[in-house]
């Protein structure tokens, strides 16, 4: 009888150690001798639903057709066309990538040509990585640390510089920025990169998208990711929308086959069915609205803790004392929070939490409460 081999975590764990990102499920599972699926990962902000049948069928079809035996189509024209139809954008203004992360690397290449990049901070750590790849100059521009619970909000800072990196909704704070306030920003900078990785899952988020403005402004690049919405971080699929001239230049320089055939097929199938997409996102928005209220109310009862307002599926907590001990306690229980010391202007008194299924949220809140009693 075939006996399955124990899962080999070692290599995977080594690959992800020392990275300033959440989602270090492999390392934690190895440490606790658990399967990755047994970890409650509240450090990476993904949608915790089972995968949609369209995705499973799509990947199965790719195996059945032995699609992996051929080099993927190089100019990605079918995928660009579907994304174009989806957003009402000319396919020449679209470039799919190996996750939004690959396109962040190219956005950093573009930004480094213009001068100083402003990174509103605390902010997503990958922008800094990408600028460092190209010896780009950047400054961290501090965002206010308090905000109200009415979203969208006006973008609060207008720092001096040549390029600005906007994240909408903002990571790690979860603030949703208002489109009009962002349009004013576009006029002030030589280049604006707007990362909308979480916008489609954010209730009432889509109204604030800058995608329609790419038709009006050549200095605007808008990034999207399918990672969060479909919980496919392992597939790697994102795209960027902007000037066809810029995107053409990147295409000449990038790897010949950045997207694998599974990601291409899945992207086409997931975005070509509008009815499915609408139902899927409606379900996500109602999960976020219900669970965020429940979890935030529960955690707000902890005396030492301040729970910050968020428009989306993750939020920040701030404690009067270091949270390192609490995070360690939770890690030993197989629950991961995103510690915040790698975010500029935050420290060990902060942590970012992403929403889980109802059952796991109950467990998460209970263990967070316990961690303060120890």
Ligand X SMILES: Cc1ncc(COP(=O)(O)O)c(C=O)c1O
Helix/strand/coil for 222: strand
Nearest distance in Å: CB 84, ligand X: 19
Name the closest residue to ligand X (Cβ): 99
Q: Does 312 bind ligand X (CB under 6 A)?
A: no
- What residues from 119 to 178 belong to the interface with ligand X (CB under 6 A)? 124, 167, 171
Q: x/- contact string, 39-78, with ligand X (CB under 6 A)?
A: ----------------------------------------
Q: What stretches of 150-200 show up as alpha helix (H) in DSSP?
A: 179-186
Instruction: Give the burial class of 77: count Cβ atoms within 10 A of its Cβ; 0-12 exposed, 13-18 middle, 19 or more buried.
Output: exposed
Nearest distance in Å: CB 289, ligand X: 21
φ, ψ at 255 (rounded to 5°): -55, 150
Which pairing describes strands 350-354 and 335-339: parallel, antiparallel, or unpaired? Answer: antiparallel
Q: Choose which of 93, 168, 202, 227 interacts with ligand X (CB under 6 A).
A: 227
Q: How many CB atoms lie within 10 A of CB 54?
A: 17
φ, ψ at 90 (rounded to 5°): -60, 130
φ, ψ at 32 (rounded to 5°): -95, 5
Q: Choose which of 105, 117, 225, 326 interacts with ligand X (CB under 6 A).
A: 225
Q: By CB under 6 A, which span of 87-95, 98-106, 201-209, 277-285 interacts with ligand X? A: 98-106
Q: Which is nearer to ligand X, 157 or 366 (CB)?
A: 157
Rounded distance between C-alpha atoms, residue 64 and residue 74, angstroms: 21
Q: Choose which of 29, 79, 192, 197 interacts with ligand X (CB under 6 A).
A: 197
Q: Does 101 bind ligand X (CB under 6 A)?
A: yes
Nearest distance in Å: CB 57, ligand X: 22
Nearest distance in Å: CB 186, ligand X: 19
Q: By CB under 6 A, which span of 181-189, 225-233, 305-313, 356-364 interacts with ligand X? A: 225-233
Rounded distance between C-alpha atoms, residue 3 and residue 62, angstroms: 27
Q: Does 264 bind ligand X (CB under 6 A)?
A: no
What's the Cα-to-Cα distance from 253 to each of 96, 106, 223, 250, 262, rounded to whole Å?
14, 10, 19, 5, 23
Residues found near ligand X in the complex (CB under 6 A): 99-101, 124, 167, 171, 195, 197, 225, 227, 233, 238
């Amino acid at each position: 009888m075939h006996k399955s081999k124990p899962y080999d975590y070692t290599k995977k764990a080594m690959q992800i150690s020392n990275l300033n990102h959440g989602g270090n499920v492999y390392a934690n599972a190895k440490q606790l001798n658990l399967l990755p699926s047994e970890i409650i990962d509240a450090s990476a902000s993904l949608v915790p639903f089972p995968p949609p049948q369209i995705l499973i069928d799509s990947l199965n079809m790719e195996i059945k057709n032995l699609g992996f035996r051929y080099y993927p189509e190089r100019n990605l024209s079918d995928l660009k066309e579907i994304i174009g139809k989806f957003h009402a954008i000319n396919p020449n203004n679209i470039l799919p990538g190996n996750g939004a992360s690959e396109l962040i690397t190219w956005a950093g290449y573009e930004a480094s040509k213009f001068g100083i990049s402003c990174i509103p901070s605390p902010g997503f750590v990958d922008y800094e990585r990408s600028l460092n790849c190209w010896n780009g100059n950047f400054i961290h521009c501090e965002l206010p640390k308090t905000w109200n619970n009415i979203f969208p909000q006006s973008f609060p800072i207008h720092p001096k510089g040549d390029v600005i990196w906007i994240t909408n909704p903002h990571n790690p704070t979860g603030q949703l920025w208002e489109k009009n306030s962002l349009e004013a920003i576009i006029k002030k900078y030589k280049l604006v990169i707007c990362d909308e990785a979480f916008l489609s899952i954010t209730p009432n988020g889509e109204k604030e998208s800058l995608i329609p403005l790419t038709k009006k402004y050549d200095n605007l690049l808008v990034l999207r990711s399918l990672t969060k919405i479909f919980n496919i971080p392992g597939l790697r699929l994102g795209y960027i929308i902007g000037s066809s001239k810029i995107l053409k230049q990147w295409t000449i320089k990038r790897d010949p086959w950045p997207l694998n055939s599974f990601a291409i097929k899945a992207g086409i199938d997931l975005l070509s069915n509008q009815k499915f997409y609408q139902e899927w996102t409606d379900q996500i928005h109602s999960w976020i609205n219900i669970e965020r209220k429940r979890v935030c109310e529960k955690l707000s009862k902890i005396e030492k803790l301040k729970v910050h307002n968020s428009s989306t599926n993750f939020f920040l907590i701030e404690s009067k004392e270091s949270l390192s001990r609490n995070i360690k306690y939770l890690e030993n229980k197989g629950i991961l929070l995103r510690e915040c010391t790698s975010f500029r202007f935050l420290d060990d008194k902060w942590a970012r939490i992403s929403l889980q299924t109802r059952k796991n949220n109950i467990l998460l809140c209970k263990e967070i409460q316990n961690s303060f009693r120890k």
